């Protein structure tokens, strides 16, 4: 059965479930180094990348996102593997394509913040353009359905990435920005204004990813929705951010008095109930392109998919505590009641 493209789905009012978070998930599994966060795993353990792609589709993702985030020239140069740049990108794209083809999912290419962009420095702008150009052209050569450009702090870099997709890719574009402590871009635009400008420039979907957890991202999405009415993306990190600690980089671990990012973030993961609430509120806000970013896991994605009306293969294994021998919905004799009370005394 032919799959509907990104534009067709958006125009039809469909929702798109998107699993991201490959960097953190593969770091958690012991195949990627925190700090540089370069996807060397694509070259060294490709079977692990493919396994995560398969897990995310199993959990309900409509998209297989090629793991080329931070797989760009500047990052490969940092670890002395710039000569493997093209092979990493092509390998990542082909791993994703294999899973997308087998599951009838959309295949997305991926470009991201260049880490060297300076809006007032023509040389830095051109270097960022060259980074985007080569990754886009490799993605197109492998037949992606669309390209995600993500995690931009500055509107200017997001606009440059979109310009490059339109010029070198000529495929649909999803452009998402990262919100830090303030409710505006690093170059001073209100996010509603930035979203409208990106959409007017030709992005098919715009929104936010990474940085903020569900609570602090949704408050900003609500504000954006006052002025931007087009197709919206929301992909927070699944961590318990607050107005006082609005990003996962700002969370302080009280046991150490230090920044929790990245090694101690596990203690601040959202609960499944919080992820369900995020998905419910996103759906009410008309977020069509929804998912999770760094810290994502398959059980979280299943919840998002189910809230959006899906029944992915993983739903076969959704929790059913009625079948639990202690906590289940059955009549207990005095022995089991007494045992249960020792586990959770009232």
In tens digits, what is the pLDDT along the chain, a chain of 346 residues? 678 999 999 999 999 999 999 999 999 999 999 999 999 999 999 999 999 999 999 999 999 999 999 999 999 999 999 999 999 999 999 999 999 999 999 999 999 999 999 999 999 999 999 999 999 999 999 999 999 999 999 999 999 999 999 999 999 999 999 999 999 999 999 999 999 999 999 999 999 999 999 999 999 999 999 999 999 999 999 999 999 999 999 999 999 999 999 999 999 999 999 999 999 999 999 999 999 999 999 999 999 999 999 999 999 999 998 888 887 776 667 777 778 788 776 6
Report yes or no: 148 and 110 within 8 Å, Cβ to Cβ.
yes
How many independent structural domains does the chain possess? 1
Identify whether 334 is part of a domain.
no
Sign of CA dihedral 243, 15, 58, 135: negative
Kindly report the CATH number assigned to the domain that includes residue 52: 3.20.20.330
Q: Which of 305, 276, 155, 154 shows the shortest CA–CA distance to 214?
A: 276
Q: Which of 67, 68, 77 shows the shortest CA–CA distance to 36?
A: 77
Identify whether 254 is part of a domain.
yes
**Distance (Å, rounded) from C-alpha 151 to C-alpha 273?**
26
**Distance (Å, rounded) from C-alpha 332 to C-alpha 294?**
42
Identify whether 298 is part of a domain.
yes
**Distance (Å, rounded) from C-alpha 314 to C-alpha 321?**
16
Identify whether 344 is part of a domain.
no
**Which range of residues forms the domain containing residue 243?**
6-320
Report yes or no: 111 and 73 within 8 Å, Cβ to Cβ.
no
Buried b (16+ CB within 10 A) or exposed e, 220-246: bbeebeeebebbbbbbbbbbbbeeebb
Number of neighbours of residue 318 by Cβ within 10 angstroms: 12
Direct distance between the N- and C-terminal alpha carbons of the chain, in angstroms, rounded to an integer? 55
SS3 108: strand
Identify whether 341 is part of a domain.
no
0.85 cut: is pTM over it?
Answer: yes
- The pair phi, psi for residue 280, each rounded to 5°, is -65, -45
The pLDDT score that the predictor gives to residue 192 is 98
Buried b (16+ CB within 10 A) or exposed e, 167-202: ebbebbbbbbbbbeeeebbbbebbbbbbbbbbbeee
Cis previous bond, 123, omega within 30? no
Q: Which of 131, 262, 117 shows the shortest CA–CA distance to 185?
A: 117
**Distance (Å, rounded) from C-alpha 303 to C-alpha 312?**
10
Identify whether 307 is part of a domain.
yes
Q: How does DSSP classify residue 165?
A: I
Identify whether 308 is part of a domain.
yes
**Distance (Å, rounded) from C-alpha 117 to C-alpha 159?**
12
The pLDDT score that the predictor gives to residue 343 is 79
The total number of residues written for the chain in this structure: 346
Identify whether 20 is part of a domain.
yes
210 marked ligand binding residue:
yes
């Amino acid at each position: 059965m032919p799959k509907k493209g990104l534009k067709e789905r958006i125009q039809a009012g469909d929702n798109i479930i998107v699993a991201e978070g490959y960097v953190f998930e593969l770091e958690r599994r012991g195949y990627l180094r925190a700090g540089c966060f370069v996807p060397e795993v694509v070259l060294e353990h490709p079977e692990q990348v493919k396994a995560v792609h398969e897990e995310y589709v199993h959990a309900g993702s409509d998209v297989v996102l090629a793991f080329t985030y931070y797989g760009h020239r500047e990052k490969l140069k940092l670890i002395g593997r710039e000569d493997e740049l093209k092979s990493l990108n092509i390998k990542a794209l082909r791993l994703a394509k294999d899973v997308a083809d087998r599951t009838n999912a959309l295949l997305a290419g991926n470009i991201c913040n260049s880490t060297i962009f300076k809006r007032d420095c023509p040389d830095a702008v051109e270097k960022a353009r060259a980074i985007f150009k080569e990754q886009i052209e490799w993605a197109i050569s492998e037949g992606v359905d669309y390209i995600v450009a993500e995690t931009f702090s500055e509107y200017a870099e997001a606009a440059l990435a979109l310009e490059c997709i339109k010029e070198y890719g000529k495929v649909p574009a999803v452009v998402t920005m990262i919100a830090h402590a303030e409710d505006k871009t690093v170059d001073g635009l209100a996010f509603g204004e930035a979203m409208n400008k990106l959409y007017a420039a030709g992005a098919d979907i715009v929104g936010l990813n990474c940085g903020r957890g569900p609570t602090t991202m949704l408050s900003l999405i609500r504000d954006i929705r006052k002025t931007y009415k087009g197709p919206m993306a929301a992909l927070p990190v699944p961590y318990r951010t607050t107005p006082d600690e609005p990003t996962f980089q700002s969370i302080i671990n009280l046991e150490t008095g230090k920044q929790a990012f990245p090694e101690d973030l596990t203690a601040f993961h959202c609960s499944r109930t919080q992820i369900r609430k995020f998905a419910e509120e996103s759906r009410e806000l008309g977020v069509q392109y929804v998912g999770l970013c760094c810290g994502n896991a398959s059980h979280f994605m299943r919840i998002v998919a189910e809230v959006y009306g899906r029944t992915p293969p993983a739903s076969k294994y959704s929790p059913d505590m009625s079948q639990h021998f202690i906590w289940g919905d059955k009549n207990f004799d005095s022995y089991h009641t007494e045992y249960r009370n020792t586990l959770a005394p009232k």
